[in-house]
Amino acid sequence: MTALDTEVRTADAPLTIAGRALRSRLMVGTGKYRSNEEMVAAIEASGAEVVTVAVRRVDLDRSVEEGVLHHLDPERYLLLPNTAGCYTAEDALRYARLGRASGLSDWVKLEVIGDEETLLPDTEATIRAAKELAEEGFKVLAYTNDDLIAALRLEDAGCAAVMPLASPIGSGLGLVDPFHIRTIKARLSVPVIVDAGLGTASDAAVVMEQGVDGILANTALAAADDPVRMSRAIGMATEAGRLAYLAGRMPKREFAVPSSPTTGMLDEG
Amino acid sequence: MAEIEVTVNGDLRRIPAGLTVRGLLSHLELHPGMIVVEHNRRILRKEVYDDVDVQPGDELELVQFVGGG
């Protein structure tokens, strides 16, 4: 078997959302990096094509942050403006429309938060906003709970992808409920991207082994001691988990089964 | 030179009278390509920046993309 054969036998179809084939199943955020230089290096190392950004007021005194567009090439990355920080459907619509008015992307990562302490989503408001945005022609990727009914309603609302959480935003707890994530994946036709809560590379692999279509991670990369190494690790783990899912794992047994032959031993009668 | 008072990103500011939206962005030394403008709660397309005048009492929001997840 040649190296080319191996390539062919391990090939995977690209993740495709709203008709666009993406070069990676990992999407990454741009928040919380210690510097813009580190952010750019980490995103490059992750292999991600879809990159989320937030919409905020320009600092007219220029004392704090300059825009992310000074550092990221919109030709190389597909920008995914989010509605982070919005607590009502109306605010989310306003932020989504501002993001699209940049002229750089008609995709939106819709999130409507329902509770300040847990940052868990307000699914009712999210569904309402998703319907409106989809009607306006947005490609809506909606952040939601790991709840099947909310996910189905978001698909019905016209979302291009549905993004259930692994665990609360920024928690690093990893996938707390594989069963509900698998249930959502089994029932939806649009891509399922698990968003929020990953902490390290093994979390990404476990999520992808559930059979979902992709992952979105931010804090796991940005808050690592070395974001560039962690970004590469999570990129590799996303691929590894996907491949393991496609390969189909062996059944679990609570007893040992030898992996070497039990016959042909020396001194056999 | 005559000045007017407008609200930009939540703060009252005195700016020269007679500016268009594009003129206001230049006055604030902002690159129009990196900014989205909301003028009295209406989002402006970039093509109309030269056609829209900033009037006394207007409320403007100037936003950009920043790091986020």
For A151-198, write each residue's pLDDT tens digit.
Answer: 999 999 999 999 999 999 999 999 999 999 999 999 999 999 999 999
B7, part of any domain? yes
User: For residue B58, what is the domain's CATH number?
Assistant: 3.10.20.30
Range of the domain at B29: 3-64
B30, part of any domain? yes
A252–B contact, CB cutoff 8 A: no
What residues form DSSP beta bridges with B16?
B3
Q: Do A56 and B30 touch (CB under 8 A)?
A: no
Domain A25-247 has CATH 3.30.420.10: no
d(CA A170, CA A119): 9
Active site (annotated) includes residue A139: no
Compute the Cα dihedral for B26, B27, B30, B32 and give only its sign: negative
B69, part of any domain? no
pLDDT of res. B32: 85
Q: Which residues of A touch B9 (CB under 8 A)?
A: 57-58, 60
Q: What is the mean pLDDT of residues B21-46?
A: 92
Query: What predicted TM-score, i.e. pTM, was given to this entire model?
Result: 0.91
B48, part of any domain? yes
Give the β-pairing of A20-21 and A16-17: antiparallel
Across chain A, mean pLDDT equals 94
B47, part of any domain? yes
User: Residue A219: which of B34, B36, B69 has the nearest Cβ?
Assistant: B69
Q: Is the pLDDT of residue B34 over 80?
A: yes
Residue of chain A nearest B29, judged by CA positions: A60
Q: By the 8 A CB rule, do B47 and A63 touch?
A: no
B8, part of any domain? yes
B55, part of any domain? yes
Residues 6+ apart with CB under 8 A from A238: A24, A25, A26, A204, A205, A208, A214, A215
Confidence of residue A79 (pLDDT cuts 50, 70, 90): very high
Q: Do A218 and B69 touch (CB under 8 A)?
A: yes
Looking at CA atoms only, how far is residue B51 from chain A in angstroms? 17
Number of domains in chain B: 1
